[in-house]
């Protein structure tokens, strides 16, 4: 089996002191909660990927997009390995909705210190760094 390391982009969307988090239905991390995100595409900037993925998954636009942190995420059970670049952004406009019902069950706004459990591995690894998107 050949192992490939992929680049993922996670998007922390801030609004009124809370962040957008969704319950995953996709195979990788099924049943866990995560921020919007996905694979970085060829020649795409981290900022453009963050904007695209947030719009594709949650139907909203974001602004003030900047690099926040990164994690090294190894999913032993599935043999997948990701470097996840977490981007921090602010909500701009649009109505949050499930745009990919085959990948996400629902979205909600949560306080950073009170995220729902269980969390997706990259988010767990980010929290272990004591990262705070409001600093």
Closest CA to 104 of 9, 25, 50: 25
Chain position carrying tokens 């089996």: 1
Q: Is the pLDDT of residue 1 over 70?
A: no
Q: Is the pLDDT of residue 2 over 90?
A: no
Q: Supply φ then ψ for residue 27, to 5 degrees.
A: -55, -45
Q: What distance in Å separates the CA atoms of residue 17 and residue 116, rounded to the nearest whole number?
A: 16
**Domains, the chain:** 5-128 (3.90.79.10)
Per-residue pLDDT tens digits for 29-59 = 999 999 999 999 999 999 999 999 999 999 9
Q: What distance in Å separates the CA atoms of residue 116 and residue 125, rounded to the nearest whole number?
A: 15
Using a pLDDT cut of 70, give the percent of the chain over it.
99
Q: Is the pLDDT of residue 133 over 90?
A: yes
Q: Give strand ranges (E) for 2-134.
A: 5-15, 18-24, 33-34, 37-39, 61-75, 80-93, 104-110
Let me know: does 6 contact 35? Beta carbons within 8 Å.
Answer: no
Average pLDDT, the chain: 96
């Amino acid at each position: 089996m050949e192992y490939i390391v992929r680049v993922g982009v996670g998007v922390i969307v801030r609004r009124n002191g809370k962040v957008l988090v969704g319950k995953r239905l996709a195979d990788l991390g099924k049943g866990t909660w995560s921020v919007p995100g996905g694979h970085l595409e060829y020649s795409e900037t981290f900022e453009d990927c963050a904007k695209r993925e947030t719009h594709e998954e949650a139907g909203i636009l974001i602004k003030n997009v900047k690099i926040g942190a990164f994690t090294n995420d190894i999913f032993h059970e599935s043999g997948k390995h990701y470097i996840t670049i977490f981007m921090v952004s602010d909500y701009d406009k649009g109505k949050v909705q499930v745009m990919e019902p085959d990948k996400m069950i629902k979205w909600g706004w949560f306080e950073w210190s009170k995220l729902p459990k269980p969390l997706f591995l990259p988010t767990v690894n980010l929290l272990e760094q004591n990262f705070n998107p409001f600093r």
